[in-house]
Homo-oligomer: A and B are copies of this chain.
C-alpha cells in the first residue's frame, strides 16, 4: 500500500476511492500476523470447547480466577529466558517516555504466583484454581505459534507442603479434558525432575551440569540425538555420560512395570530415590482413565527451570504435529519471590488456541453453525412483527435460541436466511395464531398445536 493510499485510508476517505478493492486492500491492511481471529462458526466451536473444559475443571472443584492482562514489569521480568518475549504497554500519548512500567502477562503461572501472594489472607489452602485467559508473547509468528493465545490452566497451591494426591488430581482432570477434545487417542508422558537429576548426578555431573542436560534433552524432538549430543559436548560433558544420557531417552515404561524397571537402573542417591518414590505413589493414585494413556517417559525433560518433581506432557497419538497439547508439573517455590511463605504447587496447562488452529485447519472440529439460533420465526407482514416477537419470547422461555426475521420479504428469502445461518426450524405464524414449522433437514412442514411440547421435543433431540 502506498504512503498516499495509507494517508487516504487514515483520513477515512476510502469509500470515495473507486479503485478500492475489498479482497486485496482491506485484508492486507488489517491482518495482524500472530493474533488469531476466528469466524463466528469457529468462535462458536471455541466457546463450546471452553465451556466443556470449564465444566470439567469445575466438576473437580477448581475455582475460577482471572487476573488482569497487565502486570508490573518487575513481576514479569524475573530470571529465565522468557523475559525477552514480554510486551510492555504505555499510554500512547504519555509525555514521560519512561512511563512504561507495565507489561502483558506471557503465561498464567507468574500471575497465579503473584495472586496467591497478594490475596494470601483471603484464600483457602490448598488453593485449587482454574484460569482460562489469553496470554501474549512477542515471538516471531509461525504456523501454530501465536503472539496472542488462550491458555487453560489448573493448579493446586499448598501451604508448606502438598501431597502427591494433588499431582494426580491435576493430571486426572486434564486427562478428561484431552479425552473430551474428541480427536482420537492421546498419550500422557510422565517423568520426574528429581529422578532425572538423580540419574545425572550418578553419572558424575554437577548440579549445574545436570540442569544444562535438562535444557538440552528438552530439545530432543527438535534437534534429534545428534543435536543434543553436540550441545552436551559443547558444555564439556564427557562422551561416556552423553552416551548414557541418550540411552536413557529411549526408555518408556508402562505403569505396571515402573517399579521394576526404575529399580533396574541401579541409581543410588537421595534425589533418584525421592523421584522414584513420587512416581510410584502417583501411579498408585491416578485414575484408570489416565493410567490407560500413560507411560513413564525418561526422555521428557521440560525446559522450564522451576519444575522440581512430576513433569508431564499430553500428546495426540494420531496428530504428532500438534506437539504437546497440555503440559505441566510440580514446582516447590514459585511464589517465594512475592511472599515469605513456602507455597508448593502443581499444575497443567492446555494450549487452546494452538490446538484449535490445527483442529480447524485439519477439519477435526465441526464448524457448521454460524449462529446459536435454532429457530427462525418468519414475518409475513410488518403488522405481524409484534406478535412474532411474542412467539419468539415464548420459544426462548422454553429453552431454544430463536430469532425473528428482521424484515418482511417473501418467505423464500427468509428461509434462505435460516438455512445460511444453520438454523434447522422455520416457523410460520398464520391467521388466528395458527402455527406451522418447516424442518429444513427433513423438509417436512407440520402444524404445531402444543408449542411447549414441540420445544421440549426439539431440545431433547438436540441434547
Contact = CB atoms under 8 A, between A and B. Distances in A.
A31 interface: yes
A10 B406 contact: no
B406 A163 contact: yes
Contact of A338 (B14, B83, B172): B14
A70 B401 contact: no
A260 interface: no
A30 B76 CA distance: 11
A338 B44 contact: no
B60 A385 contact: no
Interface in A86-115: 86-94, 102-104, 114-115
A69 interface: yes
Contacts of A39: 119, 122-123
A68 interface: yes
Question: What bracket does the count of chain A residues touching chain B fall in?
Answer: 35 or more
A62 B67 CA distance: 28
A77 interface: yes
Contacts of A10: 74, 77-78
A210 B211 CA distance: 71
7 contacts: A26-B120, A26-B338, A39-B122, A40-B65, A40-B123, A70-B136, A285-B386
Given A26-B118, A36-B68, A126-B406, 9 more contacts: A12-B336, A14-B338, A35-B70, A59-B401, A64-B372, A69-B69, A124-B421, A158-B406, A172-B389
Q: Please provide the 9 A-B residue pairs with the shortest distance between their CB atoms, ordered closest to farther.
A: A61-B403, A91-B138, A61-B373, A35-B68, A58-B372, A40-B63, A20-B340, A15-B336, A59-B396
